[in-house]
Amino acid sequence: MKIKIDECLPQEFSAFLHQKGHNTETVYQEGLQGAPDNEVWRESQKEKRFFITTDLDFSDIRHYKPGEHAGILLIRLAKEGKERISSYFQWMLSQYNIDEWQGYLVVATDHKIRIKMPNET
């Protein structure tokens, strides 16, 4: 799966996902850190990459309608921080096959993972 990792996430995500067989790029690798959301989004979708972020702006299904993009994973934890979010992400990947989330909007919180599929809006 082709994945783009937002600047708000630990860069270790890229290496971890690469070890799992994913083709990853980060906002930092592309020199897009600090760029407006719409620019990061445009590049991600141009490359048909599943986008992983903590930026709540990407949860608006009016702008990011499931089925009309390569997919979004929005991670929203009560306690963030590099170690907490990395630990949660590793747990999540051990429990779920993110390849199945292409085209979906997935919101992962401390208590549940909500998956919005196309035609569920």
Write the CA distances from 64 to 4, 37, 47, integer angstroms.
16, 12, 16
Count of structural domains within the chain: 1
For 39, phi and psi rounded to 5 degrees? Answer: -70, -45
For residue 24, tell me if it sits in a domain.
Answer: yes
User: What is the per-residue pLDDT across 77-91, written as a single tens digit (0 to 9) for each?
Assistant: 998 788 899 899 889
Quick check: is 121 in a domain? no
Q: What is the CATH number of the domain that holds 99?
A: 3.40.50
Read off the pTM: 0.93
29 within domain boundaries: yes
Residue 95: what pLDDT?
93
Query: Which domain does 49 fall in, by range?
Result: 2-116
Per residue in 32-90, pLDDT (tens digit) is 999 999 999 999 999 999 999 999 999 999 999 999 999 999 999 998 788 899 899 88
